[in-house]
Structure 1
C-alpha cells in the first residue's frame, strides 16, 4: 500500500513508525512531515489545511489510504474532502470532529446524554461570563471553546487568576477566535487519565490507558502545555476504574454521537479525571493524542493498517486487537521559554546516542544537513521496559544524552506510576 500521513509532529512520527512495521506498506508520504519523519517516509511540502493540494497529490500518486493526525484539518472537514474524491481516509468527518472543535458542543452533548463531566456554563459575551465567574468559588477552570493547540485551558486557583484568564481569553484574544466563546467549569480534583479508542460508529476498541503530564514544570506546576510526557500502562490506577470510564463515558459518547447523526469513525480520545465520585470527562479529542500516541502505539501488536482498514470498511467489530505487556514512558524535551515564546533553529546533538530508546521528532527541521529545533516541544524520548521503572530509566538515560541550547524537560514523568509500578 501507498499511504499518506498528514501532520508534522511527534504523533505523526509515531504513526509513521507504526505503519512502517506493517508488511502491507510499500511507501509512506507525510505532508508536511519533519526531520525525523523524513528518515521513514517521503516528506511532501504541502500544509495540513491545503485540502485541494492534498487531495490532488493523493490522486496523482495512487495513494491507497490517508491518515489524518492533527485536530485542525479534521475540524475543518479534511475527511469529507477525501471522501468526496473517493480516496480512503481514516478519521472522523467534520460533523463528528466537532466533539473536539467545540468544547461547548462537547459539554452540551455530555449533559444531554447524562455522561459524567464537570458542572459548567457557557458564554458568548464577556460581561455575563465575568458576572457568573464572580459568583463561583476558586479554583475554577476557563476553557476557550475552539481549538488552541492544546493550550486553551486555564486552571485558576484564585479569583484574580480567573478574572485575568477570562479577560485574556475573551477580550485580549490570547487564543484568537478560539476564545470568542468560553466554558467556565468547576475544578475537578484527582488523577488525570487518557483513554484513546479505535471507534467505528458504536464499536469501541479501547487502547491501554495512558497518563499525560500537561503542566510545564515538575510537580504539575506552571502553565499547561501540549503535554510534557506520558506513561502506559497505569499500574497505580485500578483496572476497575479504567473499565468504569470506558463503560460510563467512552462507549456512551460513541452511542450519543451516532444518535445525533454524527457517527464517529477514527480515534476518540477521552481526557478524564478520576475524582472521589468516579471518572469524569475533562475533554474529548477527535484524533490520536500527542504525546499519548508515543507510548501507546509502541505497545500495539496488531497491524495498524488492519485496524484502519477495518474501521473504514465498518468491520472493526470483527478484528481482534492485541497489546504488549511492556511499559512505555515518554519524556518530552522542550525549547527554553515554552509554552511561551522560544528560539528556533538551534542544532540538536546526541540523537544517535539514544540507544534502544525511540526518539520521536515533534518540532524539528533539517538545515544544511543538520537537525535543528523548530518547535516548542522538540522531541519525545520513549523508553520501553518490563515495567514502568525499567521504561522510565531507559527514557531518562536516553534523554540525558540529547542536547540543544535551552533544552529542558520534566524530571518526574511517570513518578506517580512508580507507587505500584516497580
Structure 2
C-alpha cells in the first residue's frame, strides 16, 4: 500500500540527514522532492504545492529542538500536515435513527455492493446492530443476487423486490420492512452511475430526498487516483454526501485519492476497504495512515486487531499450560489461527515500524503458515501434546505425511522449543528481569 509514495518521501526526507540545522536552502531542496513525490502519487499539483508551502512555513518558523535532528523534525512536520490533509481525526457514522438509514452511492465497479456487506458485517459484529441490506440496483444483471450472496455470507437479511424496477419505491418498502421487523439499521445499496449520466444522477437525488438517510456515503475505488477525487466532487454537488469510502486501498501503490479527496470535497474518509474478505474493513484514522505512508508502521491498529481476536478465558488457560510446561502444538495451532484472522500477512507486517522497507520487493504469502500447519496436522495427538517424543522415525513419517522434508520438521521443532523456553521465561520473573536489564542499558 502506497509503496511508491513511501519510497519517494523517504528519499526526499533523507536530504536533510547530516545537516546540523534547517536552512531555507535545504528545506527548499527537500520540499521540492516531497512535492514531486505527491504529484507522482496522483495528488493534484495545487494541493501538493499548498501542502509543501505550509510545511516550509512551519519548518522555517520553528526552533530546532536540541534532541531532534533536522531530518526528524521535518518528518514530524510532514506527518502532521499529512494527517491534517487527510482529515485530522477519525469520523464515525451516524447510527442514531430508528432505524438509521445509510445510503450508498458511487461509480460502477467501485465496490459498493461488497462494501455494503462489509459495513453490515461491521455494524453487526462490532457495534451489535441488527442491519438490513436493501437491494436497489435494478439495472445491473444479477446485482440483487450478488447482494443476497453477500448477505448469506455474513448472516444478514436482504430485502429485495425483483418484480419492481423503481429504486425509490424499493428503498421506501425496505425501510418500512425494517421498522416492522425490528431492524435498527438499513443499508440501501444503489446502482453504480456515472457523474455525467444526468438521468441516473437525478434518480439517486430522488432516492436521497425520499428516504432522507442519516448517512449518505460515496464509495470510490482508491486505485483510480485523481479521477476518484474529481468524481467525488461531482457526486457531492448533487448529494452533499456525509463521507467517503475508499475501496481497494490495499492495491493502491500511489495514494493520491486518500491524500487529497478530503481537501477537495471537505468530507471525511470514514472507512477503507483493505481486501476482499467481509471483515477486511478499517475505520480510517488519518494519523495512522500518515505514519504508514512515512514508513513508521501502525502499531496501534496492529494491537487493536490482536485484541479483537483475544479471548481472556483462552489466555488464562494458556498461561497455566505455559507455567506447567504443557504448551503443545495444538496450542500453537490455535495461536496461528488467531493471527490469520487478523488480516493478510503483508498488511500486518506493514504495521510494524520499519518492516515496510524490508518487505518492499518481497511477496508475503497469506499461506505463510501453510507448511507449519501441514506438519502439525501430520502429528499424532500424543506428538502434539509431547513434542519431545518425536524421534527420527516419527520425523520421517511426519515429513512424508505433510509433504515436507525432515529438515523442515526439525526446523519447526527447534523453533517451537526456543519459543516455549522464551514463553516460560517471560511467564516467570524473566520478563521483569529482562525489562530491568534493558532499562539499565538505556
TM over 0.5: no
Higher Rg: 2
- Select the structure that is richer in strand: 1
TM-score, reference length from structure 1 = 0.24
TM-score, reference length from structure 2 = 0.23
